[in-house]
Amino acid sequence: MEKILVGLKRVVDYNVRVRVKSDGSGVETDGVKMSINPFDEIALEEALRIKERGEASEVIVVSIGASESQQQLRTGLAMGADRAILITTDKAPDTLSCARALLEIVRREGPELVILGKQAIDDDNIQTGQMLAALWDRPQGAFASKIELNGDTARVTREVDVGLEIIEIDLPAVITADLRLNEPRYVKLPDIMKAKKKPLDEIALADLGIEAGPELKEVLFEPPAERQKGIMVDDVAGLVAALKDKGLVA
């Protein structure tokens, strides 16, 4: 296998407590730590492990967004990716536009495998990988917890509602990474310094012949309601009485 393409998305760091803006127009991002989407980081780790086993020659990371997304791409390069591509756009593209943009990169680079995170933690759409596979007309293995390559095929263990499902798909293909696929490595300072010299190309979304697509208009953002304080009961009878007071039992 020559190339593996991995998608990275810039999101609010999962350790940060998300705050809604005072006017309800969106999520507060000023001064907030931003990171690689955790599922995308798992996808990159898997691609790097495949390369380290000698089953791939090059790992390419790609992101779609503003120039700030270079930070996440540089982190991907520091983890071990060989080069990066940033598809620049000032507007946040919809999912289908993202899939179309990735398809254009796939056509240019010709990877045998595309690995994406199963979802992004900011919008939770869980759509991009499936849309890319459909547009590319190639097999997909979504929600992967294990990937085994054997020549021109991949054996993918998928996490589904009833347990685990094992499928075999032909390459090239799209695979989306689930949480238990692996544990990403820590980035070391020497690797961060080396990443600064690795190539990072920028391509405007419009230059790929793609518009940002129909925008979804968020009317209002609201934080979840605060949880009510719990109460202590002395015995089962007290528990039943408390539940009856709340109308939870008859």
Dump pLDDT digits (tens) for 84-130. 999 999 888 889 999 999 999 999 999 999 999 999 998 888 999 99
Question: Which region, left, alpha or beta, applies to residue 97 given φ > 0 means left and ψ of -120 to 50 means alpha?
Answer: alpha
Going by C-beta distance under 8 Å and a sequence separation of 6 or more, which residues neighbour residue 41?
A: 8, 79, 117, 184
Peptide bond into 184 cis (omega under 30): no
What is 43-59 written as a DSSP string?
HHHHHHHHHHTTS-SEE
Q: Which tokens go with 133?
A: 């596979």
Q: Is the pLDDT of residue 8 over 90?
A: yes
Distance CA 202, CA 69 (A): 11
**3-class SS shares of the chain: helix, strand, coil, % to 5:** 30, 30, 40
What class, spelled out in words, does domain 3-245 have in CATH?
alpha beta
Dump pLDDT digits (tens) for 121-161. 988 889 999 999 999 999 999 999 999 999 999 999 999 98
Neighbours of 201 (CB within 10 A): 12
Break the chain into its structural domains and give their ranges.
3-245
Dump pLDDT digits (tens) for 36-55. 999 999 999 999 999 999 99
Distance CA 142, CA 134 (A): 13
